[in-house]
Amino acid sequence: MTEKKIDEPVNVRTGEELDVVRVRNYLVQAIPDLTGEITVQQFPSGFSNLTYLITIGNRDFILRRPPFGKKAKSAHDMNREFMMLSNLKPNFRYCPEPILYCDDTEVMDSPFYVMERIKGIILRKNLPDGLSYTPVEARRLSKRLIDVLCDLHDLDYKKIGLSDFGKPEGYVKRQVEGWSRRYRDSKTPDAPDCEEVMEWLSKKMPPDCTNPCVIHNDYKLDNVVLALDDPLEIIGILDWEMATIGDPLMDLGNSLAYWIEEKDQQSLQLLRMMPTNLPGMMTRREQVAYYAEKQGMKIDNFDYYYCFGIFRLAVIMQQIYYRFFHGQTRDARFQMLIHGVKIMDDVAKRVINHGEW
């Protein structure tokens, strides 16, 4: 492993600009000893909340705000995400430090919050120039991902003040019914109906888990920050907007829905967004076995949790595509998401009919 590149912002996308004068004035008044000119850039990856790099003088901040256009009713709650981080940070060192929350419409058209920037390496579709992993290193990194997830799941959410951040009773049922409803609400004429998948998820639903915990709900390799001087060391976990209290196996299933292996079918390879296909990376089944061993539990129905993760990912893509289909966003990346929805529907059916995961 030689020279590494950090995740770099770019110019703000057209239609997603901030009022830099108002933002600067607000931050300078709210944050002590903050002076200097402001520059605003945007991190180009991600399809949900918008993430900006705010630099004032010699200090960097991350600003998170909801997307423009139609939003799911319960999504993009900036205050909830801010409060979740505020409670987690003292107990889970991988969280970014939340700094302030603002819902003043004189500053911005939507609520937003500001947090520290964790400067490090974020892996995207392919490794950056100058960074490589041997098979042994790749396996170590994929194991470390599970280690950190276990650390999160081991937190006592009641002791750290998060009892009101979720309802573990009936969690799986609400998730299946809620995501099924969201899919039907956002379905466009060119989308698959996904009815077979939704029916299977409803019929095969497991009972409530006995060990509810804090779950991230978007835990994946490109939400992980790696140390600049040691790209095997995890120093941060990002994007907590969907975190809640729920079933840890649902969290693992959602995570592994993004994990595309070297031997996966070609259509699935087209959706790969992270270098999870590197030689040495643990397979999905290996990660489930490792998680079960670390947590001292038996997992014999993970096909259900993986299928749900795949379906949920299809819904997320469909909701975003809905915004593009109806002209609510001009982001060209969204146009291709309909193909991803169709691939996810096919993958879910392979799980249901052939046990492939």
Q: Which residues contact 178 (CB under 8 A, 6 or more apart)?
A: none
The pLDDT of residue 166 is above 90 = yes
The pLDDT of residue 142 is above 80 = yes
Domain of 36, in residue numbers: 20-116
* Site of tokens 């994007």: 239
**Distance, CA of 84 to CA of 165 (rounded, Å):** 8
- Token code pair at residue 327: 């002209």
Tens digits of residue pLDDT in 171-225: 999 999 999 999 999 999 999 999 999 999 999 999 999 999 999 999 999 999 9
Tens digits of residue pLDDT in 266-319: 999 999 999 999 999 999 999 999 999 999 999 999 999 999 999 999 999 999
Tell me the pLDDT of the chain averaged across its residues.
94
**Distance, CA of 287 to CA of 155 (rounded, Å):** 20
Judge if 96 and 152 occupy the same domain. no
* Range with lowest mean pLDDT among 231-245, 250-264, 310-324, 328-342: 328-342
Judge if 200 and 96 occupy the same domain. no
Give me the mean pLDDT over the 74-85 stretch: 84
Q: Mapped to the 3 state alphabet, what secondary structure does 288-326 carry? A: HHHHHHHHCCCCCCHHHHHHHHHHHHHHHHHHHHHHHHC
Within-domain flag for 129: no
- Token code pair at residue 153: 């799941």
Q: Tell me what pLDDT residue 3 has.
A: 46
Q: Tell me what pLDDT residue 46 has.
A: 60
* CATH assignment at residue 74: 3.30.200.20
Judge if 319 and 286 occupy the same domain. yes
Within-domain flag for 221: yes
Judge if 172 and 99 occupy the same domain. no
Within-domain flag for 7: no
Judge if 255 and 285 occupy the same domain. yes
The pLDDT of residue 121 is above 60 = yes
CA 271 remoteness from chain centre: 15
Give me the mean pLDDT over the 137-158 stretch: 98
Within-domain flag for 331: yes
Judge if 168 and 307 occupy the same domain. yes
Judge if 152 and 260 occupy the same domain. yes
CB 217 within 8 A of CB 252: no
26: helix, strand or coil: helix
From 87, 116, 145, give the residue that closes a domain.
Answer: 116
Q: Tell me what pLDDT residue 72 has.
A: 46
Q: Tell me what pLDDT residue 59 has.
A: 96
* CATH assignment at residue 147: 3.90.1200.10
Judge if 229 and 339 occupy the same domain. yes
CB 64 within 8 A of CB 50: yes
Judge if 74 and 220 occupy the same domain. no
Within-domain flag for 5: no
Count of domains in the chain? 2
From 70, 87, 116, give the residue that closes a domain.
Answer: 116
- Token code pair at residue 38: 């402001």
Within-domain flag for 255: yes
Within-domain flag for 274: yes
Candidates 257, 274, 288; CA nearest to 150 is 288
pLDDT band for position 5 (cuts 50, 70, 90): low
Candidates 218, 223, 185; CA nearest to 318 is 185
More confident residue, 289 or 49: 289
The pLDDT of residue 94 is above 90 = yes
Q: Tell me what pLDDT residue 209 has.
A: 95
Judge if 65 and 95 occupy the same domain. yes
Judge if 79 and 145 occupy the same domain. no
CB 299 within 8 A of CB 288: yes
Judge if 266 and 145 occupy the same domain. yes
Within-domain flag for 124: no
